[in-house]
Each structure stands twice: as C-alpha cells, then as structure tokens.
Structure 1
Amino acid sequence: MPWYMLLVVAVAAERVGELLVARRNAAWTLARAGVEHGRGHYPVMVVLHTGLLVCCLAEPALLHRPFLPALGWPMLALVVLAQALRWWCITTLGPYWNTRVIVVPGARLVRSGPYRWLRHPNYVAVVVEITALPLVHSAWLSAGAFTMANAVLLAIRIRCENTALTAAVPA
C-alpha cells in the first residue's frame, strides 16, 4: 500500500497545482470583467474532492482492502489518462480554465482541443478519476459513494456553467 499512498499524495499535489493555476486564472478573468457564478456549490465540490482523497487512503487501510492486479492496474491506467485529459483541458482553455465558474462577457467559446468533441471534457476526466482512483486499491465503497455524490454535484455544476456561458458568450 505505500505506493498507493504515494499515488494519492501525488494526486493531492496535482490538485494543489490546479488551485494555483485557478487562482492565477481567476485574477486574469476577473480583471477582464469576469463574473463568477455558482459560488454556493463550490465549497461542496472542495469537500467532495478532499473527502475522496481521504477515503482513498482510509478505506484500504481500515477495511484491509487488497490490491487486486486485474482491477488495480487498469484503474491506474484510467487515473493517468484522466490526468492527461484534465491537463489537456487546462492548457486548451488557457487563462479561461478555472475550478470556479467565472465567465468573461463577450468571450468566445473554445472549440479546439478536447472541446472539439465534448462540451465539458474536464468533467469526463473528473468522473473517470473519482471512480478509478479508489478502485486502484479496491476501495469500492469510496468509489461508489463518491461517484454518486459527484453525479449530483456535476448535474448542478454543469447546469450552472451552461447557464452562465449561454448568458455571457456570443453564439
């Protein structure tokens, strides 16, 4: 399990890196008259993602979950692919990417990178990671609970984001 602990710590460090990028990008968008939407659900999102990381460590340790290679290795590959997709989204959106919903009125929708094919590819990465990361070490309770909670949160988040984009971005 020590290597799994390192994986979860690496994902947590990646999240801190995302927050640093998001803070810089928030300042950039707000300086351009960006408007934040959905502040109410943001703390819930932070708790969900932090709780996931804690449970990824706690469930295997407390419930003696074994590493099952037939499950763990494919799930690890999905975690790595989710990270790659997430950073493709971040680099494609550039200063418009954020962990918050901040929209600059009049800005054009990005339709390059993964946004050529999907409206919300970053959320695909989030869904895959929230399901796969716990399953790397057989934490199936965490995978199920956080996947369901994330589905509810993403329904709210995507509705908020779509409404904000529709109101602020020209067709």
Structure 2
Amino acid sequence: MPWYSLLVLLVGVERLAELVVARRNARWSMARGGREYGQGHYPWMVALHTGLLAGCLLEVYLAGRPFVPALGWPMLALVLAAQALRWWCVAALGPRWNTRVIVVPGLPLVRRGPYRLAWLRHPNYVAVAVEGAALPLVHSAWITGLVFTVANAVLMVVRIRCENTALAALPA
C-alpha cells in the first residue's frame, strides 16, 4: 500500500503543477483582456478534486481495500493515459489553458492537438473523468470512484455549459 500512497501523492503534486501553470496562464490571459466565467462553480471543483485524493487514501486504509492485480494494473494504465491526455491538452492550448474558464476576446478557437477532433470538444474533461474513476480503482477504492464519478458528472454539466457559453463568443 505505500506505493499507492506515493501514486496518490504524485497525482497531488501534478495537480499543484497544474495550478502553477494555470496561475501563470491566467496572468497572460488577463493581460490580454481575458474575461473569467463560472467563478461560482470553481471552489466546488477544487473541493471535489481534493476530495478525490483524500478519498483514495482514506478508503484504502480505513476500509482495508486490497490491491487486485487484474483491476489495479489496467486502472494504473488508464491513470497514466489520462495524465498524458491532460498534458497534451495543456501543450495544445499553450498559455490559454487554465483550470478556470478564462477567454481572451478576439483569439480563435484552438484547433490543434486533441482539439482538432471535431467530435471531442473537451478532451481535458475526458482525462479528468478517466482519472477520477481509475485512480481509486487502482487499489479497489470503489466508493471513492463512484462518488467522484457521479459528482464530477454533475459538475461537468455546469462546467461544460459555462465553457461553451464563453467559447461561443470567440471567432471560429
């Protein structure tokens, strides 16, 4: 189990790295007249993601969840794939990527990387959904995975609606 704690810790460190990038990118966007949307749901998103990491550890240790190789190894592969997709999104959006919804007027939609796929408008949220389900299941924390998945689905309805509204103002 110590290796699972390390995995969850590393995901937490990755989240902190995202926040550093997001703050830098927010300054870049605001300096160019960026407008933020959806500030009301952002604290809920932070709480949900923090709860995911805490829930992974608490459920495994308090409920004695076992590592089941037939489940754990494929879930670990999905966690790693989700991280790769997330950072591909970050790279494709460059300074426009953020954990907040900030849109710079006059800039066109990004159409490179995973954003070139017309049928997948929000690939970063696919990464979030996959990681949120898979990370707990690496060590059989199925309650945490289920609670995160349901809560994240509700939050993503709000978030995607907000983001689509914000992006609609950009030139195609």
TM-score band (shorter)? Answer: over 0.9
Could you tell me which residue of structure 1 aligns to residue 43 of structure 2? 43
For 2:102, what is the secondary structure of its paired residue? strand
> Runs of 4+ in structure 1 displaced over 3 angstroms?
none
Q: Quote the offset at 1:25 in angstroms.
A: 0.1
Q: TM-score, normalised by structure 2?
A: 0.98
Distance 2:15 2:147 in 1: 20
Could you tell me which residue of structure 2 aligns to residue 140 of structure 1? 142
**Which amino acid is 2:129 matched to?**
V
Unaligned 5+ segments in structure 2 are: none
Distance 1:130 1:37 in 2: 24
For 2:10, what is the secondary structure of its paired residue? helix
Superposed counterparts of 1:76-155, under 5 Å = 76-117=76-117, 118-155=120-157
Q: 1:162 pairs with 148, 152, 164, which one? A: 164
Partner deviation per Cα, 1:30-57 (whole Å, 9 max, x = no partner) = 0000000000000000000000000000
Q: Quote the offset at 1:69 in angstroms.
A: 0.2
Distance 2:147 2:19 in 1: 24
Distance 1:33 1:113 in 2: 25
For 1:67, what is the secondary structure of its paired residue? coil
- Identity of aligned pairs, percent? 71
Distance 1:27 1:88 in 2: 21
Q: Quote the offset at 1:116 in angstroms.
A: 1.1
Could you tell me which residue of structure 2 aligns to residue 29 of structure 1? 29
For 2:107, what is the secondary structure of its paired residue? coil
Q: Quote the offset at 1:24 in angstroms.
A: 0.1
Distance 1:13 1:72 in 2: 21
Q: TM-score, normalised by structure 1?
A: 0.99
Q: Quote the offset at 1:146 in angstroms.
A: 0.5
**Which amino acid is 1:60 matched to?**
V
Distance 2:114 2:171 in 1: 20
Could you tell me which residue of structure 2 aligns to residue 65 of structure 1? 65
Partner deviation per Cα, 1:129-150 (whole Å, 9 max, x = no partner) = 0000000000000000110000
Unaligned 5+ segments in structure 1 are: none
The number of aligned residues is 170
Q: CA RMSD in A?
A: 0.4
